Amino acid sequence: MSGPKAQPGPGGLVLVDKAAGMTSHDVVARVRRLAGTRKVGHAGTLDPMATGVLVVGVERTTRLLGYLAGGDKSYTATIRLGESTDTDDAAGSILAAVDANVGEAAIREAVGKLTGDILQVPTTISAIKVDGERAYKRARAGEDVELAARPVTVHQFEVGELRPGGVVLDVDVEVRCSTGTYVRALARDLGAALGVGGHLTALRRISVGPFDLAACRSLEQLAEELVVLPLAAVARAAFPCRELDDLAARIIGNGGWIPAEEGHGDGPVAAFGPDGELVALLGDKNGRSWPVVGFTGAG
């Protein structure tokens, strides 16, 4: 006989320091059990080999995940020059190996050309859909997957320690980039630019938008104490904020519009009622602010 059914835990954000060897789906499944609810999702996948910040939403906070996933992300990584793989990381099979006889100056020059606004061809082992099916599924089925280049922004691509290892050269880097950027593809493209090939051997995500490793806990720690950042605190950390009086809060809560307020920049604005609770995310159009995601209803 099964035990008593777990009761739903508090809604909010759970910041996980993901361990290597787990999929993001594995983490979501664990948080579902810990929180006692199936209404759990994540803001941006981490590959099984990667570690670090995985932003997990519980209950109503899942409505914010699409917006949280759009923030910049920061990583520390190790790129191995001298070997290219079919997945652009250490999980794949080696396609070619050459002597990585390249100097630091050449590496820094090539990194500079991969910094800023660039066009990047995503790795074929990605979750991008091709004719309705994930690219990685097509690639693993033996198809020749060709993905179109797309614009991304690499705000920071810093070279750290260089560690020779026989014919290969491991390069530690720090990367801060826009959403949709593949660090594996940066490793591949750096190796290609230097003529020696390259792939990613280690990746640790250290921030997603305003959330960093300092606020994260391992799944083992979360099993001892499930730390959940409340919905209102999440919104205040992640978005420009607007305080509403009682009348405006009721109008927005009922799906209506209010005059727009200048000075918030692009993107959604978190609107709070007089009680400090999140009423909605607002979008502006033609001088009016409308709720694009509401939080006053049930569910």
Catalytic residues: 47
Exposed e or buried b per residue across 176-205, where buried means at least 16 C-beta atoms within 10 angstroms of its C-beta: bbebbbbbbbbbbbbbebbebbbbbbbbbb
DSSP 8-state code for residue 144? -
How far apart CA 214 and CA 199 sit, in angstroms, is: 28
What span, in angstroms and rounded, lies between the C-alpha atoms of 296 and 254? 8
DSSP string of 4-57, one letter each residue: PPPPP---EEEEEEEPTT--HHHHHHHHHHHHT-S-EEESS---TT-EEEEEEE
* Cα–Cα dist 296/13, whole Å: 18
Residue-by-residue DSSP string for 229-253: B-HHHHHHHHS-EEE--HHHHHHHH
Measure the CA–CA gap between 273 and 257, rounded to whole angstroms: 15
**Virtual CA dihedral for 283, 289, 293, 297, nearest 10 degrees?**
180
Which residue do the tokens 């009680």 mark? 275
Count, in order, helices (H) and strands (E) of the chain: 8, 18
Any idea which residue has 């190996």 for tokens? 97
Using a 10 angstrom Cβ sphere, with 0-12 exposed, 13-18 middle and 19 or more buried, the burial of residue 74 is: buried
Q: Which two tokens stand for residue 22?
A: 């787990």
